[in-house]
């Protein structure tokens, strides 16, 4: 039997290997591995972690949107996850790939420019599962992998998610 600490560590994530070649084949270009250095000093056009950086700014240093022009913004795409419960996690963006999670144990990888779905992961949940608060707090990126906490803390390893396998 695993200790609670080890179970928590194991249960932190479903590991999804993002093959750079698979993303390049979908026209996304080269996927940039997330490293310690990139997390410490994130590029302004990426949102690699919750709140944007280790200082927890919660805002982007980009300056093209200002109080003077914000009223001119219009939506260029929308995406429905198909889940009606509240989505609480911020999207995470790495080099044009946006990762979105849902309360129903799903992760979507989207082309951030077009909104096109690149891949979707959905954890199988028992039909009789009762979650009082089916929240998901989002993904974490490390190297070429996507990590997401799941109900029950069961570790899973998925590969080939860009192709849906």
Q: What is the pTM of this model?
A: 0.75
- pLDDT tens-digit readout, 65-81: 999 999 999 999 999 99
- pLDDT tens-digit readout, 16-61: 333 343 344 344 567 899 999 999 999 999 999 999 999 999 988 9
pLDDT at 8: 32
The CATH number of the domain covering residues in 4-52+86-163: 2.40.10.480
Residue owning tokens 């070429």: 144
Contact 98, 91 (CB under 8 A): yes
Residue ranges per domain, the chain?
Answer: 4-52+86-163
């Amino acid at each position: 039997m695993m200790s609670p600490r080890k179970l928590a560590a194991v249960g932190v994530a479903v590991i999804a290997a993002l093959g750079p070649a698979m993303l390049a084949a979908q026209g996304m270009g080269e996927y940039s591995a997330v490293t310690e250095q990139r997390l410490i000093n994130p590029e302004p056009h990426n949102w690699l972690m919750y709140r944007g950086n280790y200082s927890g700014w919660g805002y982007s240093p980009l300056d093209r949107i200002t109080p003077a022009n914000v009223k001119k913004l219009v939506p260029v795409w929308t995406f429905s996850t198909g889940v009606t419960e509240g989505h609480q996690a911020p999207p995470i963006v790495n080099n044009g790939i946006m990762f979105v999670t849902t309360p129903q144990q799903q992760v979507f990888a989207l082309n951030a420019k077009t909104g096109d779905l690149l891949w979707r992961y959905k954890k199988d949940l028992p039909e009789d599962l009762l979650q009082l608060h089916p929240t998901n707090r989002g993904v974490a990126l490390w190297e070429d992998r996507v990590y997401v906490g799941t109900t029950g803390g069961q570790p899973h390893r998925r590969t080939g998610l860009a192709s849906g396998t």
